Chain A
Amino acid sequence: MTSELNKLTIAEASSKLRAHEITATQLTRDCLDRIAAAEAKLHAFITVCEKEALDQARAADARLAAGNAPALCGIPLGIKDIYATKGVRTTCASRILEHFVPPFDATVIERLRADGAIFVGKTNMDEFAMGSSTENSAFGATTNPHDTSRVAGGSSGGSAAAVAAHECLGSLGTDTGGSIREPASFCGVVGIKPTYSRVSRYGVVAYASSLDQVGPFTKSVRDAAILLRTLAGKDVRDSTCSARPVPDYERALTGDVKGLRIGVPREFFVEGMQPEVEQSVRAALKHYESLGASTVEVSLPHTGYAVAAYYLVATAEASANLARYDGIRYGLRVNAEDNVALYETTRAQGFGAEVKRRIMLGTFALSAGYYDAYYLKGQKVRTLIRNDFERAFEQCDLIVTPVAPTTAFKLGEKMNDPLTMYLSDIFTISVNLAGLPGMAMPCGHDANNLPIGMQLIAPPFAEETILRAGDAFERTGSFKPRTPVV
């Protein structure tokens, strides 16, 4: 008889753990068993931490027995392999860090440890978070639990798939242009990217410093609220991290959306979208209206320029952030006669094609004679995009859009043309450029049973509005999540 405790939500498991109905060790074992069974097909994990997880579970059980344990005590989580985890290798899905073992924990990892959470393993991702399908991992792609011939999305594909397939109860991802929201949408789970600066980036390997943000994947909106409470808040080690107090996000889940004004941007319902995606999101909007919210059409006129601005700004920052990978202090080294050759061959062999592409583009955008036309221009258009949202939020409290133009595409389908891949970020990217909070949650399925997600966007630090609205939909919506095939 299998207990299948891994299918619980965080809220459910937390309650049972504290009521001593189940133990953290049982819960963790069920997750590890599931991982063992599913990984051959799913490949959501780069490193599974069986021993460490069971050690953590033992400690969690002791704490739970003593009483008064935090909500996350004993909860098994997957951690995107972009977070520094002390003593556990952190690869960023790259050959250049294949054997790198950090001597320190990321701040959010420290916070989760302090709460007694359990790390079952490091999840797969696109190399250095650059990608939208997890096909750019140096260690193989992650498949979609609803159809293993399709992608899980990216760059946090492993974290999304692991939660969708019940390999863990929640996971951490990162989002720079949609890397939490898009895989959440493709895998049918909840994924939230908080306001930029809401969560510390210390110990999160940097891709684009002014865009990267930490966020959780969960099975429910309530679970996201629980995780976010622990993750968020001031960190003296991150100079860009906000000191704003962190609300008790669970309190926001009142179920009441009466009077909520929902903005629907006309630029987000475009040609080339999969019709079922549009239908699903519009049905969700109708449902909100039935709950007492109102909808209003808004305009975000510079939406069409977001992908271009992003691919100048993000790649420029990335080109500098990835300059440290040189084979001298850690990571891959390809031996050479002189230092220039050392750098050139180490980086050529250590980085995959997409990473090289972005480093090249970013270096060019900053180079002498091109800075104004490219990097600076991108940052100026970014201001226009921020202003668009500011103006739109004068008319509404929340903006609801699709997450991606399509449901999960087939493995290999978009690998031939980078630009096609980049354009799948079209609905998520402007949210990062504006630094706003955005959450993806399931709102339907297409004819192939593939999940469709909707995106909820709010003004800066208004995560409570998002969580309240998302929770209300989840509890009352007629849509029911499908079981994954894996």
Chain B
Amino acid sequence: MTTNREAYEAVIGLEVHTHLLTHSKIFCGCSTTFGAGPNENVCPICMGMPGVLPVLNRRVVELAIRTGLAAHCTIAPYSIFDRKSYFYPDLPKGYQISQYETPICKGGYIDLPPTENGETRRVRLTRIHIEEDAGKNIHGDSASLVDFNRSGVPLIEIVSEPDLRSAEDAGAYLRQLRAILRYVDASDGKMEEGSFRCDCNVSVRKRGATEYGVRTEIKNLNSFRFVEDAIEYEVDRQIAIVESGGRVAQETHLWDPARKETRPMRSKEYANDYRYFPEPDLPPLVVPVEMVDQVRASMPELPADRKARYVREGLTEYEAGVLIADRDVADYFEATLPGLKNRKAAANWVMTEVLRVARDSDKPFVEAVPPAAEVGALLQMVEAQKISLNAAKTAFAAMVKSGKGADATVAELGLAQVSDESAIAAAIDKILASEPEKVAEYRAGRDKLFGFFVGAAMKAMGGKANPKVINEILRAKLAG
């Protein structure tokens, strides 16, 4: 679609709902495990039976506070739960317990990774609040089926200010948010399992304008790809409308990934008036300063802090940045280090060899690559000069395929490097003896011939000689 993009600015805000990593649900002792049989993880409370009452899970509050701290929010010492009323088959009580006017976290911001030209962007947050999830509907031909396993699973909703200006930014924001959530163990960010859902608010305005345009809401996007595509599409669609003199309607849309377009949701016959009022079954949530301090003290290291630590420990900004982008990668990198002196070699290896394999695989990172300890072992062998770097690469490729460990692979492939000086010296002597003209030319000044001798020596050793030792002995002998 060709549109007059330059004249317009896209204005995007994102609302992310994510499941919190708790063992039990927010208001009852049912398990939150994904993948259980239908209606196995339910009880009278999360099924909304008559007479039941909610009791708040402390871990939910702790994880919400962690997220708020990681996003630089203000943690409210006093917040209120509210009932949000609407009717839907997967909502057992006919209301959702949420937070309306007084959420647990306010304000805050997330900094996006710098762009190629070093530009940083800060996305402000409006709020983070706690709420419960609803069950799931499965649609058949003639009926729908309802499973309440997900009903009562704890959620936080993270609302950004409309600070994003492009689909790429939106993608970067979501990735950064997910990384933060995974770093603080608040969420596993698995969009495929439905534990990380995104709604987008999109509007456009003429560049330079200060007023916001009419926005549409695109709901329930469950992959980063869909988010970016949907935003691109919607921005173009709105610009086209405005350009042709029309008005954008304030609607809710769904993204159709097959046809790659947004469609208005079937207009609800009955408008939603949520009739929020304070939840009488739950006293106000009091979060004392001591609790916030405790949460802060027990928090896993944040990405920014970990990055700074890596830099202090000797990596470059760039290297540190690549490694911390995904918590699994950073954890992996650190797990290769025990016993290794050369941190940079490990960093380099992870950034090149390991990430390449991971990128090419469909599997999640941890399953796609050999165990970190094995890579560490391999790198230790290089460090101890037991194998060459090239041999290590060969071994790694084999380990990826076979799943075998470093020692076994190196042994199997006979990659051990020879450092025996007398053997190497003997081989070199033989070569020098067989090429007297070249030796003379080298001594006369043709330095380039050094490489020839190295190559010949390595070949004579079957490729297994330690190149450092070859260099040293060769230099000594050629010097006369």
State the A residues within 8 Å of B (CB). Answer: 82-84, 90, 92, 97, 100, 102-104, 106, 201-206, 208-210, 236-240, 316-317, 319-320, 322-324, 326, 328-330, 339-340, 343, 363, 366-368, 371, 375
Contact = CB atoms under 8 A, between A and B. Distances in A.
Contacts of B53: 201-202, 237-240
B283 A240 contact: yes
Interface stretch (B190-198, B274-282, B377-385, B397-405): B274-282
A202 B51 contact: yes
Contact of A368 (B146, B269, B273): B273
B283 A323 contact: no
Interface in B30-69: 44, 47-56
Nearest to A128: B50
A240 B50 CA distance: 17
Nearest to B39: A329
A92 B270 CA distance: 30
A70 B276 CA distance: 46
B178 to A, nearest CB: 32
A342 to B, nearest CB: 9
B55 A84 contact: no
B87 interface: yes
A368 B88 CA distance: 20
A330 B42 CA distance: 14
B463 interface: no
B114 interface: no
The binding surface of chain A is classed by DSSP as loop
B349 interface: no
Given A366-B275, A367-B275, A239 B54 contact: yes
B93 A324 contact: yes
B262 to A, nearest CB: 25
Nearest to B277: A366
21 contacts: A84-B49, A92-B50, A97-B50, A106-B51, A202-B52, A208-B280, A237-B55, A239-B54, A239-B56, A320-B83, A320-B95, A323-B87, A324-B50, A328-B146, A329-B47, A329-B48, A329-B49, A340-B87, A367-B275, A368-B275, A371-B275
Nearest to A83: B51
B150 to A, nearest CB: 15
Contacts of A363: 275
Contacts, number: 105
Given A92-B50, A324-B93, A368-B273, 11 more contacts: A104-B44, A206-B281, A239-B282, A240-B53, A319-B275, A323-B87, A323-B95, A324-B50, A326-B89, A329-B48, A366-B277
Interface of B: 44, 47-56, 83, 85, 87-89, 92-95, 146, 148, 269-270, 273, 275-277, 280-283
Contacts of A238: 53, 55
Contacts of B44: 102-104
A236 B54 CA distance: 10
Counting chain B CB atoms within 10 Å of each CB, the highest count among A100, A206, A324, A368 belongs to A324
A368 B274 CA distance: 8
Given A236-B55, A323-B93, A366-B275, A84 B87 contact: no
Counting chain A CB atoms within 10 Å of each CB, the highest count among B51, B146, B280 belongs to B51
A205 B51 contact: yes
Given A100-B50, A106-B51, A236-B55, A326 B277 contact: no
Contacts of A208: 280
Contacts of A339: 88-89
Given A320-B95, A326-B87, A366-B275, A84 B281 contact: no
Contacts of A202: 51-53
A322 B93 CA distance: 8
* Ranked 10 nearest A-B pairs via Cβ: A323-B94, A209-B280, A366-B275, A210-B280, A205-B50, A203-B51, A324-B48, A205-B51, A84-B51, A368-B273
A120 B210 CA distance: 72
Contacts of B87: 323, 326, 340, 343
A358 B277 CA distance: 17
A83 B50 CA distance: 9
Contacts of B146: 328
Contacts of A330: 49
A328 B89 contact: yes
A210 B148 CA distance: 27
A355 to B, nearest CB: 14
Nearest to A235: B53
B302 to A, nearest CB: 32
Contacts of B94: 320, 322-324, 326
A201 B55 CA distance: 13
A447 to B, nearest CB: 42
A354 to B, nearest CB: 18
B51 A340 contact: no
B89 A102 contact: no
Contacts of A323: 85, 87, 93-95
Contacts of B93: 320, 323-324
Contacts of B88: 339
A375 B269 contact: no
A284 B52 CA distance: 41
A29 B49 CA distance: 33
A316 B148 CA distance: 26
A366 B83 CA distance: 11
B281 A240 contact: yes
Contacts of B89: 326, 328, 339
Nearest to B94: A323
Nearest to A197: B283
Contacts of A367: 273, 275
Contacts of A329: 47-49, 92, 148
A50 to B, nearest CB: 24
B273 A84 contact: no
A103 B92 CA distance: 17
Given A102-B44, A368-B273, A317 B52 contact: no
Contact of A102 (B49, B56, B92, B277): B49
Contacts of A366: 85, 275-277
Given A240-B283, A320-B83, A320-B94, A375 B51 contact: no
A102 B281 contact: no
A324 B53 CA distance: 13
B50 A90 contact: yes
A82 B50 CA distance: 9
B33 to A, nearest CB: 21
A249 B146 CA distance: 48
A209 B51 CA distance: 10
A451 B93 CA distance: 41
A316 B277 CA distance: 9
A183 to B, nearest CB: 21
B94 to A, nearest CB: 2
A330 B85 CA distance: 20
Nearest to B281: A209
A358 to B, nearest CB: 15
A208 B146 CA distance: 28
Contacts of A240: 53, 280-283
A92 B51 CA distance: 11
Counting chain A CB atoms within 10 Å of each CB, the highest count among B44, B55, B148, B280 belongs to B280
Contact of A375 (B50, B52, B277): B277
Nearest to B85: A320
A209 B269 CA distance: 31
A84 B281 CA distance: 18
B151 to A, nearest CB: 10
A12 B50 CA distance: 36
